[in-house]
């Protein structure tokens, strides 16, 4: 990217919204130094005061909800009602940590031979966040709310097609009263990430993105002995057993696959359905998907918008076409027009087809039938990814019995996989490592420091070696 002008483009209209000049290497270094200087003061601010600022950030988000949602829709094409919901969810994560952080960061007392021993949770320093475009506010806030409240400062490297969102997020923290330098959006490309990791102020990195980007950042962080958290892709399965509540499963599967125009790592991309019910379930699914309103993302009735860039739609089209060439059948959809790709259902999908093996980042659902529980588990596990799975059955005891056999970061029973501030979020295998959200999330970027106190140092003290 170097110093080339970066344009923010509306993917629906093709209009250039705003142009940006990327920061120079020298400007980035100055920003990192300022973040470290801010950290030295920020870590001393009482947790209760940090929580007050986070509560204020939630209020700012809600007071500016319409404006911020419009920015999301303009930059990456998300239907406006879903953009509004994204802002509301960001306010929720702020409120959650504003209430829970004091107890989550409180020292943990541990009984040992010492007179007193405990673990305290101290911030690491400045954390770099490398974030994607598909949920341009939520991905950042689910990182920033716990990370800042733990006492760290943050530098955001946002995807280059959503820099307006990055600027808006920084303005939210500024309006909420956060000190200068605690959170900064850096207008830089991926080519400057490694140099940032070289900076002594940057102690860790959190990345949400592709497997390739995650591997590169993990290598760079590992070679510098700096912590990394990776939230990467997913190829989640929706497993519908023959005893499921089919009407409820149908509605949930549609939402799981097609919200955000299918551009989500946790979307249910593979539908595994029991052969006994497959014909009727898929027929009903096709009818419902054909009825989804596509069009202008600014129309409140639109459910399927455009993909964030035309090249993403072309990539999805190629995966679709190769799967058809290998024997999959088109139940509906399959056509592309610029950045728009019709909501599509493929049946007869088998391992070896891109629609089964690869992450499809758009409104395409791949249907595979199974005969029994063992075959369902084999198909489910036949993936390099391990982010999450949804099981649909009335027999919840059976579903819970299957949970230990499933290599995923999350198992949702009769519900779509989703992120919730109260629950840890993250994957295994090629879906990454580390956990965001919940108490685990706020403790990802802290020093869990052991403190061991002996009041008397007499030689007969049982804790003395």
φ, ψ for residue 101, nearest 5 deg: -55, -40
State the catalytic residues: 231
Neighbours of 46 (CB within 10 A): 10
Looking at residue 2, its pLDDT comes to 63
The distance of Cα 1 from the centroid of its chain, to the nearest Å, equals: 24
Q: Do 132 and 253 have their domain in common?
A: no
Q: Can you tell me the mean pLDDT for 345-356?
A: 98
Looking at residue 3, its pLDDT comes to 75
CA angle 438, 165, 17 (to 5 degrees): 160
Name the band, by pLDDT with cuts 50, 70 and 90, for residue 465: very low
What CATH number is attached to the domain comprising 82? 3.40.605.10
Given a contact cutoff of 8 angstroms between Cβ atoms, the answer to whether 306 and 340 are in contact is: yes
Q: Do 279 and 320 have their domain in common?
A: yes
Q: DSSP label at 304?
A: B
Q: Where are the alpha helices (DSSP H) in 105-160?
A: 138-149
Secondary structure of 23-71 as H, E, C letters? CCHHHHHHHHHHHHHHHHHHCCCCHHHHHHHHHHHHHHHHHCHHHHHHH
- Say whether pLDDT at 463 is over 50: no
CA atoms of 260 and 176, how far apart (whole Å): 28
Length of the chain in terms of residues written: 465
Q: Do 274 and 301 have their domain in common?
A: yes
Residue 419 covered by a domain: no
The distance of Cα 220 from the centroid of its chain, to the nearest Å, equals: 21
Looking at residue 456, its pLDDT comes to 80
Residue 465 covered by a domain: no
CA angle 292, 297, 300 (to 5 degrees): 70
Q: Do 175 and 305 have their domain in common?
A: no
Q: What does the buried/exposed string (b/e) look like for 424-457 if buried means 16 or more CB atoms within 10 Å of the residue's CB?
A: bbbbebbbbbbbbbbebbbbbbbeeeeeeeeeee
Given a contact cutoff of 8 angstroms between Cβ atoms, the answer to whether 355 and 330 are in contact is: no
Q: Is 314 helix (H, G, I), strand (E, B) or coil?
A: helix
Q: Do 179 and 248 have their domain in common?
A: no
Q: Which residue from 199, 118, 187 is spatially nearest to 158, judged by alpha carbons?
A: 187
Helix axes 65-76, 80-104, angle to 10 degrees: 120
Q: Do 25 and 90 have their domain in common?
A: yes
Q: Is 440 helix (H, G, I), strand (E, B) or coil?
A: helix
CA atoms of 68 and 137, how far apart (whole Å): 9
Q: Is 455 helix (H, G, I), strand (E, B) or coil?
A: coil
Looking at residue 457, its pLDDT comes to 62
Looking at residue 256, its pLDDT comes to 98
Beta strands in 305-378 (DSSP E): 329-332, 336-337, 340-341, 344-347, 364-370
* Average pLDDT over the chain, rounded to an integer: 97
Q: Which domain holds residue 267?
A: 236-413
Q: Do 281 and 344 have their domain in common?
A: yes
CA atoms of 392 and 256, how far apart (whole Å): 13
Q: Do 38 and 157 have their domain in common?
A: yes
Q: Is 318 helix (H, G, I), strand (E, B) or coil?
A: helix
CA atoms of 173 and 158, how far apart (whole Å): 16
Q: Do 150 and 210 have their domain in common?
A: yes
Q: Do 174 and 247 have their domain in common?
A: no
Name the band, by pLDDT with cuts 50, 70 and 90, for residue 382: very high
Q: Which residue from 148, 143, 138 is spatially nearest to 182, judged by alpha carbons?
A: 148
Strand pairing category for 153-158 and 126-131: parallel
Q: What is the pLDDT of residues 326-340, one digit of tens each?
A: 999 999 999 999 999
The model scores a pTM over 0.85: yes
Residue 314 covered by a domain: yes
CA atoms of 154 and 444, how far apart (whole Å): 14
Name the band, by pLDDT with cuts 50, 70 and 90, for residue 460: low
Looking at residue 1, its pLDDT comes to 63
- Residue 225, judged by CB atoms within 10 A of its CB (0-12, 13-18, 19+), counts as exposed
Strand pairing category for 389-392 and 446-453: unpaired
Provide the Cα torsion 15, 18, 22, 27; round to 10°: -170
Number of domains present in the structure of the chain: 2
Residue 295 covered by a domain: yes
Q: Do 329 and 228 have their domain in common?
A: no
Neighbours of 102 (CB within 10 A): 15
């Amino acid at each position: 990217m170097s110093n080339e002008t970066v344009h923010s483009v509306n993917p629906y209209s093709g209009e250039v919204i705003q142009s940006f000049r990327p920061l120079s290497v020298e400007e980035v270094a100055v920003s990192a130094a300022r973040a470290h200087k801010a950290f030295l003061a920020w870590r001393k601010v009482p947790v209760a005061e940090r929580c007050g600022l986070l509560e204020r950030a939630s209020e700012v988000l809600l007071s500016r909800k319409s404006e911020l949602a419009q920015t999301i829709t303009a930059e990456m094409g998300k239907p406006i009602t879903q953009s509004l919901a994204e802002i509301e969810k960001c306010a929720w994560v702020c409120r959650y940590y504003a209430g829970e952080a004091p107890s989550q960061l409180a020292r943990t007392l541990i009984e040992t031979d010492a007179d007193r021993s405990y673990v305290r949770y101290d911030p690491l320093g400045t954390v770099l966040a490398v974030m994607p475009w598909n949920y341009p506010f939520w991905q950042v806030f689910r990182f920033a709310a716990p990370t800042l409240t733990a006492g760290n400062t943050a530098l955001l490297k946002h995807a280059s097609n959503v820099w307006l969102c990055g600027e808006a997020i920084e303005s939210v923290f500024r309006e909420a009263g956060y000190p200068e330098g605690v959170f900064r959006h850096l207008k830089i490309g991926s080519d400057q990430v490694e140099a940032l990791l070289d900076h002594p102020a940057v102690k860790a990195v959190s990345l949400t993105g592709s497997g390739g980007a995650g591997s590169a950042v993990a290598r760079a962080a590992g070679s510098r002995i700096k912590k990394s958290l990776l939230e990467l892709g997913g190829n989640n399965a929706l497993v519908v057993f023959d005893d499921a509540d089919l009407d409820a499963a149908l509605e949930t599967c549609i939402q799981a696959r097609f919200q955000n125009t299918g551009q989500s790592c946790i979307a249910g991309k593979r539908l595994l359905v029991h052969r006994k019910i497959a014909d009727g379930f898929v027929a009903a699914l096709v009818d419902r998907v054909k009825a989804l309103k596509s069009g202008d993302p600014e129309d409140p009735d639109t459910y399927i918008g455009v993909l964030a860039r035309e090249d993403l739609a072309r990539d999805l089209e190629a995966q679709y076409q190769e799967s058809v060439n290998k024997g999959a059948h088109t139940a509906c959809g399959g056509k592309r027009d610029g950045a728009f790709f019709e909501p599509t259902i493929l049946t007869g999908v088998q391992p070896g087809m891109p629609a089964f093996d690869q992450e499809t980042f758009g409104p395409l659902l791949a249907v595979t039938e199974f005969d029994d529980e063992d075959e369902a588990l084999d198909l489910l596990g036949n993936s390099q990814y391990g982010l999450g799975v949804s099981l649909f059955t009335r027999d919840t005891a059976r579903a819970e019995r299957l949970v230990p056999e499933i290599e995923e970061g999350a198992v949702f029973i009769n519900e779509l996989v989703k992120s919730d501030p109260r629950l840890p979020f993250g994957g295994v295998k090629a879906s990454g490592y580390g956990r965001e959200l919940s108490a685990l999330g706020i403790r990802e970027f802290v020093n869990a420091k052991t403190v061991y106190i002996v009041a008397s140092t007499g030689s007969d003290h049982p804790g003395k070696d």
